[in-house]
Amino acid sequence: MRRISLLLLGMCAPASMAGAETHRLQPGVGYPTFAVRPPVLTVQPGDVLESETLWGEWYETEGGKWPGEVGPVAIAGAEPGDTLVVEVLKVRPNRDTAVSTQGGRFGALVPDEGTAMLNETFPRGRYVWRLDRQRGTGSLDLPGSAIKTITVPLRPMLGRVATAPEGAEAFDGLWPGPFGGNMDTSDVREGTTVFLPVFHPGALFYFGDGHALQGDAEVCGSGLETSMEVAFRFGLLKKKTIAWPRLEDAEHLMVAGSARPLSDALRIAFVELIGWLVDDYGFSKPDAYQVVSQLAAVRVANMVDPLYTVVAKFPKRHLPMRGGPAAAGQGAGVRLGDLAWPEAEKVLTPDRVVVLPLGAAAKEHGPHLLLRNDQILADYHARRVMEARPVAVLPTLTYGFYPAFLEYPGSTSLSFETQRDAVVEIARSIARYGPRRLYVLNTGVSTVRPLRAAAERLEREGIVMRFTDVSVAGKAAEEAVREQTMGTHADEIETSMVLYMEPGAVRMERAVADGLVEKRGPLTRDARNGDGHLSPSGVFGDPTLASWRKGERVTEGMLADILREIDALAQAPLPPGAPRSPLETPAP
């Protein structure tokens, strides 16, 4: 361990990029302004910084001094005209209380220095919320109200992330602007990537102002203010110049604009968002204007600071696919469940590949993922395949052979034979109408054996069946991002994929590493069970390492492999034989 000034403890550790380091910064000084000053630390692109926001008098005493922001951190190689990329890996409260103040001359509904009003000043108030960090909730006593207490889920965020402003400017910590600063947008949270303009060598990154929760507009002037454990991964987009902060999470592209009046902040955000679609995603400006007008969402991040901040959001599901088949116009698949039988008759031609998604709707995936987790994976891949290939997609089969999870309440399993026969009989049913090529979008490991048995049986009847082997599909992408040493269930990789596909279905605050002493046999919660793989949580691996960025890479890699398998199936010769009726008694 090496000691650096300002209580910096730099610990080298493997990160997801070759040669990258993880640094631990224990901040000793907080600065009241965003400005150029000597960095407290210099990191390389790809490095991870672990640190915390500052705690001070403001949190403990009414009228106390604000502790300031942490930084600046220099990123080696950053030059004016570049874009700093900040992946927010962790934002977690590290105190059991949070403070919210209101009234006086600060807030959206009271007179301030920039907005004169005739009404009297609203009484000052100081509310101390109790945080349950284990449950991820905040509670507040309300003695003057009909309900005497309220408990709400937390959504931790950072109010302030910034680079040093342009030129010799120094902005007080309350100010947002093109450099970022006090934007107070609740989108700066775990899983979000923030893009900030670089105005000076090293970029000079600042952070602070943790909020355990904050509503849109920060109406009373403060969120649930507390200190946070944080982690960031830094990157650079060389010679890529942006005018205002951009953000991206698993669901949206976002731009933050700050100005007064509020309408100007909105205009900035939307103009920059349209420019992003034009520059990076191939939209013409008129078309981008039109689709943004119909699809975008708006967050008023703050309406209390010296400049107001508006965040314009565009849903990523409406972006063009990254190259590949859909871009070439090869999609136009259909969902059979959305058709009437006369329409289905026209679709089910002999050359059609039929896709059967298979994903459990009732199988444990640890305390942080839903029982329907596998169905989320299957439905997502089915949608993407349908967009990319002219397939006919069956409704998802949500029950399968999952014997390893039955100790965990809510988990279900079919027998090996029932799983095999269900797939065989579905394939026989479809083959009656013409298609004799079936692809099973499989999301499980234990389902591989009955699927293989089904494929062998169907081949004797002139039906070709292929299926996804999750131990092979997307493996190259998985190996490129994996940090955990072992794991295959509700782990870093699976959790990352769901963060990418349906982030609302993940409770990262509940994620735990478990099952790390590997043993053959089903998972068990019982330490006395010598025949099982012990995991009290139902996890095998380390989901705390998950991120939607990893999930994006693995999911896109897996999808590319699946599409190649479907293409090969479409060209595969049919074996001799005739399909049997699904109503016949299965042959041994």
In this predicted model, which residue has the larger pLDDT, 122 or 174? Answer: 174
β-pair partners for 355: 393, 439
pLDDT score recorded for residue 198: 98
Cβ-contact 133, 186 below 8 angstroms: no
pLDDT at 557: 94
Query: How is 213-277 classified by DSSP, letter by letter?
Result: ---GGGTTS--SB--EEEEEEEEEETT---SS-EEE-SSEEEEEEEESSHHHHHHHHHHHHHHHH
**What confidence tier does 7 reach under pLDDT thresholds 50, 70, 90?**
very low
428: amino acid identity, one letter: R
CA angle 169, 310, 67 (to 5 degrees): 50
* pLDDT of res. 503: 84
What does the pLDDT look like over 551-584, one tens digit per residue? Answer: 999 999 999 999 999 999 999 999 999 999 988 8
Q: 420 — phi, psi (to 5°)?
A: -60, -50
Fold topology of 2-239: Jelly Rolls (2.60.120)
Beta strand 33-34 with 41-43 is unpaired
- pLDDT higher than threshold 70 for residue 47: yes
- Is residue 36 scored above 70 in pLDDT? yes
- Report which of residues 27 and 548 the model is more confident about: 27
Q: Is-above-0.85 flag for pTM?
A: no
Output the pLDDT for position 529.
Answer: 79
CA dist list (Å): 100 to 65, 97, 303, 309, 525: 15, 10, 16, 20, 41
pLDDT of residue 147: 92
pLDDT at 520: 75
CB atoms within 10 A of CB 292: 20
Residues of each domain in the chain carrying CATH 2.60.120.580: 2-239
Residue 167 and residue 158 in contact, taking contact as beta carbons nearer than 8 Å: no
Q: How many alpha carbons lie under 13 Å from residue 45 in its C-beta half-sphere?
A: 14
pLDDT the model gives residue 284: 96
Sequence ranges of the chain with CATH classification 3.40.50.10310: 335-571
What integer pLDDT is reported at residue 264 of this predicted model? Answer: 97
Number of other CB atoms surrounding residue 96 within 10 Å: 11
Length of the chain: 588
Residue 18 has pLDDT above 70, yes or no: no
Cβ atoms of 563 and 513 within 8 Å: the answer is no
Q: What is the mean pLDDT of residues 118-139?
A: 86
pLDDT of res. 5:
31
Tell me the per-residue pLDDT of 253-301, one tens digit each, with 9 for 90 and over: 999 999 999 999 999 999 999 999 999 999 999 999 999 999 999 999 9
**Which amino acid is present at 310?**
V
3-state DSSP assignment of residue 72 = strand
Say which range, 110-124, 140-154, 425-439, has the weakest mean pLDDT: 110-124
Q: Is domain 335-571 in CATH 3.40.50.10310, yes or no?
A: yes
In the predicted model, is pLDDT for residue 128 greater than 80?
yes
| CA 584 to each of CA 112, 166, 424, 450, 458: distance values in angstroms, whole numbers, following the listed order | 80, 76, 11, 19, 14
**Does pLDDT of 21 surpass 80?**
yes
Q: What is the pLDDT of residues 299-351, one digit of tens each?
A: 999 998 999 999 999 998 888 754 433 333 345 789 999 999 999 999 999 99
Q: Tens digit of pLDDT for each residue in 382-423? A: 999 988 899 999 999 999 999 999 999 999 999 999 999 999
Buried b (16+ CB within 10 A) or exposed e, 409-431: eebebbeeeebbbbbbbbbbebb
- Alpha-carbon distance of 396 to 1, in angstroms, equals 52
Does 587 have pLDDT greater than 70?
A: no
With a pLDDT cut of 90, the percent of the chain lying above it is: 76
Task: Supply the mean pLDDT for the chain.
Answer: 90
Average the pLDDT over each of 58-72, 365-379, 427-441 and give the range with the smallest value: 58-72
Least confident of 2-16, 203-217, 225-239, 472-486: 2-16
For 388, other C-beta atoms within 10 Å of its C-beta total 23
Average pLDDT of 132-145? 90
